[in-house]
Amino acid sequence: MTVAATVGYRTIRDLNQSELAGKRVLLRLDLNTPLNEAGGISDDSRIQQGIPTLRYLVDRGAKVVIMAHMGRPSGKVVESLRLTPVQDRLSELLALNVKKANDCIGEQVRAMVAELADGEVLLLENVRFHKGDTKNDPDFARELARNGDLFVQDAFGAAHRAHASTVGVATYLPAYAGLLMEKELAALGAVVDAPEAPVVAIIGGAKVSTKIAVLSNLLGKVDALLIGGGMVFTFLKAEGLEVGNSLVEVDKIDVARSFLDEAKNSKTKVMFPKDLVVADAFDNDAKTQIVGIDAIPVGTMGLDIGPKSAHEFANVIKGARTVVWNGPMGVFELPTFAKGTNAIAEAMAACDGNTIVGGGDSVAAVNQAGLADQMRHVSTGGGASLEFLEGKELPGIAILRT
């Protein structure tokens, strides 16, 4: 890690032992892990990435109080989004008995915090069970802040959102970067400072709605933009093509159309898949066929990019000096529809440029393909890493400035 990358930010390494020992450290982690159908953790990368900071704090005798979110419970308690599986995995990885509260604010939580011994760890319940988190409500932030003496920000993957648990608490507590935040800043900062051309971005994933801002912002900034995943069908629909039963966000067809217009006048080469794998059902054993994008049969759904497209995308990636990838090309969780995603992972592994992959599901896909160690940097952030690479200052990082 270069020290220069984190100059200008306060980090926990600036604190000496006496500033941590016995102190209540309110630590924001990104523990938003992909879950399997049984509600268990299907990829624990983000939990693993939080361990170095946790160890650092525990070893120095801090009383660690973790804030984290899972999914989108929209301000109410959703039983399947409790952090209990995360508590278990954290306990295993730390070889410690990590405690857990059933809420993240209130009298009972404060009592549990007060009972912590030096070096103990308490995980607070999903902060998004309260509406105040995503709204960055100052009262909610103040309540959260009552659980700590200082705030450590290590949730790089959530740092692009100005929420109470990522930004608001810093109004009430001194804020420091954790070790993962430093690692992300160093790796991604190097690319922002001197991106080597050609620069290729690959964006996939389920929805247009979560990626459209990033897509627009990348126009003009990268040499090639490769688009895959479920969002493709909203673009095809915008062009008046038949998409069968594929995933479409009807309320995003207009923004998709504007993006396509904008793309025409951009120096960025925007590439969509030319062929697709369609299936008669959302099932690994479904009947599949490979079709051109203008020949999707009624009654089928597109679940992966086709082999021609995978090959074309792979060739662009292999010739790149900087490659940034967020969002799988298909439903990679089902092996039948993982080929397009795997082809991207393999092309990145074969590319000797600066390769960066980010996003919960994308990282899970790269792990599944066994290629994570062949990437230059595996980022815990999806949206966060892309916004950072666009040159934006993320609100959850701005609070760390000296």
Active site residues: 46, 207, 360, 383
Q: Which listed range, 56-64, 283-291, 353-361, 387-395, lies at the site for ligand ADP (CB under 6 A)?
A: 353-361
Q: Is 360 in the site for ligand ADP (CB under 6 A)?
A: yes
Minimum distance, C-beta of residue 220 to ligand ADP, in the bound complex (Å): 22
> According to the binding rule CB under 6 A, does residue 333 interact with ligand ADP?
yes
What's the min distance (Å) between Cβ of 107 and ligand ADP? 36
Q: Which of 331, 343, 366, 375 binds ligand ADP (CB under 6 A)?
A: 331
Looking at the Cβ atoms of 85 and 330, the one nearer to ligand ADP is 330
Should residue 395 be labelled a site residue for ligand ADP when binding is judged by CB under 6 A? no
362 contributes a contact to ligand ADP by CB under 6 A: yes
Does 198 sit behind a cis peptide bond, omega within 30 degrees of 0 on the bond before it? Answer: yes
303's contact among ligand ADP, Mg ion, none, with CB below 5 to 8 A by partner kind, is ligand ADP
372 binds ligand ADP (CB under 6 A): no
Of the candidates 109, 75, 116, 93, the one whose C-alpha atom is nearest the C-alpha of residue 29 is 93
Residues 177-236 binding ligand ADP (CB under 6 A) are 205-206, 210, 229-230
Q: Using CA atoms, how far apart are residues 232 and 29, in angstroms rounded to an integer?
A: 32
**Is 230 within 8 Å of 249 (Cβ atoms)?**
no
Nearer to ligand ADP, 171 or 210 (CB): 210
- CA distances to 47, 56, 111, 119, 148 from 61, rounded to whole Å, are 21, 9, 19, 4, 14
What is the side-by-side strand order in the sheet with 301-305? 288-292, 275-279, 301-305
- Using alpha carbons only, how large is the chain's radius of gyration in Å? 22
Binding site for Mg ion (CB under 5 A): 360-361
| C-beta of 143 vs 184, nearer to Mg ion | 184
Torsional sign, CA 163, 167, 172, 178: positive
| Site membership for ligand ADP, residue 306 (CB under 6 A) | no
Closest distance to Mg ion from the beta carbon of 375 (Å): 18
- Of 361 and 387, nearer to Mg ion (C-beta) is 361
By beta-carbon proximity to ligand ADP, the closer residue of 8 and 335 is: 335
Can you spell out the DSSP letters for 97-161? --EE-SSSSSHHHHHHHHTPPTT-EEEPP-GGGSTTTTTT-HHHHHHHHTT-SEEEE--GGGTTS
- Distances in Å between the alpha carbon of 95 and those of 55, 171, 180, 207? 10, 33, 20, 38
Which residues lie near ligand ADP (CB under 6 A)?
205-206, 210, 229-230, 247, 302-303, 326-328, 330-331, 333, 359-362, 382
